[in-house]
Every structure is written in structure tokens, then in C-alpha cells.
């Protein structure tokens, strides 16, 4: 607090919980976004994961809770670079108690962060901005986290039941019949 001026913590919430989760625990989102600085001033560049994904493949990248190697919570079904960033699709192992807890928290909108664990293979620093451009990374894990270093790295959807598609089809039938 500065000389009698209260400080307010900014909070952002999901507009609505990620509801309609199927029993299988499948979710997807972006674990990294190209060209966006994270809170540590790192910027992942397009193509940074290409060699690592070729070498490791999806099966060798672990799905963890809060970057804790003692807490694997499922497996990645797909990991790929696209024009926006590192798109991921994973499945929580609902036989694991921690994964069931996280699944419930995701459904409620309480947890939605994603964060990458990697080793830097090539980067360049920008002196005037203080940014570090990450050009090649060895990706070894992606975690579901409470607070991601890159605020935009989020779970976008948890596998939905077909309710929305059913509503759209019904509306189309009513409109065009």
C-alpha cells in the first residue's frame, strides 16, 4: 500500500465453467503461444518444438500436475505446432485420485492453466526489451497448473457432451423446415 492508497489485486475468471465434461477426462488447449512474452520475459518462436516433437513424439512428453514429476495425471493424445502455438489434447487418467480431483476442478472452472517444462537448446536475448526469444526447445513435460507463466496458455475445452451440437441441429431444423 502506498501512502494511504489501497492496492487491488487483479483477478480474471473464466466466463463460465468448462461444463459438460464426459467421463473420459479428455481436454484440449494451448500449452504455449508463439510470439507472446510470458511473465519471465520468454517468447517462444514458431518451430521451437519441431525437432523435439520429432525426436520424442507425443508419448514421451509427460502430463503432470504443477510440474511435479511425482504427480503424473494422464497422457497426451496429441501435441502439435500450428499457426498460433503448441496445441495439445490430453486425457486425465481418472483411475488416479489426483486426476479425478483436477477433472472436477476443470469442470468447475477453478483450474485451467497449462505450462511447459523444457530445456533451452537455442535462444537469443534482446537487449533493449529484455526479452529472450526461444528458438529451439527440448520439450519434456506439459503440466496442468493453477497459475501459468504464460497467461494465455489455457485449457480451452474439456470434452463436451453432444448437447451443443444437438441444440444447433434442432435450431437449424426449426429454421429451415
Question: Has 135 been annotated as catalytic?
Answer: no
In this prediction, residue 7 has a pLDDT band, given cuts at 50, 70 and 90, of: low
What sign for the dihedral angle of Cα 131, 135, 138, 139? positive
Distance CA 167, CA 26 (A): 22
Helix, strand, coil percentages, rounded to 5, for the chain: 20, 40, 40
Exactly one of 36, 67, 81, 135 is catalytic; which is it? 67
Is 153 strand, coil or helix? coil
Question: Has 143 been annotated as catalytic?
Answer: no
Residue 18 scores a pLDDT above 70? no
| DSSP state for residue 146 in the 8-state scheme | S
Q: Which fold has domain 26-176?
A: 3.20.16
Exactly one of 115, 121, 126, 177 is catalytic; which is it? 115
| Residue 162 confidence (pLDDT) | 47
Half-sphere exposure of 8 (CA within 13 A, CB side): 3
Which of 18, 11, 10, 12 has the alpha carbon at shortest distance from 106?
Answer: 18
Exactly one of 32, 52, 103, 141 is catalytic; which is it? 141
| DSSP state for residue 164 in the 8-state scheme | H
- The pTM assigned to this predicted structure is 0.78
Residue 17 scores a pLDDT above 60? no
Amino acid at each position: 500500500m502506498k501512502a494511504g492508497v489501497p492496492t487491488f489485486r487483479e483477478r480474471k475468471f473464466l466466463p463460465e465453467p468448462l461444463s459438460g465434461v464426459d467421463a473420459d477426462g479428455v481436454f484440449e488447449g494451448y500449452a504455449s503461444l508463439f510470439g507472446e512474452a510470458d511473465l519471465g520475459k520468454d517468447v517462444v518462436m514458431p518451430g521451437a518444438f519441431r525437432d523435439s516433437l520429432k525426436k520424442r513424439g507425443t508419448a514421451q512428453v509427460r502430463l503432470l500436475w504443477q510440474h511435479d514429476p511425482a504427480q503424473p495425471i494422464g497422457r497426451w493424445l496429441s501435441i502439435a505446432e500450428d499457426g498460433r502455438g503448441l496445441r495439445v489434447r490430453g486425457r486425465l487418467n481418472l483411475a488416479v485420485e489426483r486426476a479425478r480431483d483436477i477433472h472436477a476442478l476443470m469442470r468447475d472452472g477453478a483450474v485451467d492453466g497449462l505450462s511447459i517444462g523444457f530445456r533451452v537448446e537455442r535462444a537469443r536475448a534482446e537487449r533493449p526489451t529484455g526479452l529472450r526469444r526461444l528458438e529451439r526447445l527440448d520439450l519434456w513435460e506439459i503440466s496442468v497448473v493453477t497459475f501459468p507463466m504464460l497467461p494465455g496458455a489455457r485449457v480451452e475445452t474439456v470434452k463436451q457432451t453432444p448437447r451443443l451440437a444437438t441444440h444447433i441441429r434442432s435450431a437449424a431444423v426449426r429454421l429451415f423446415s
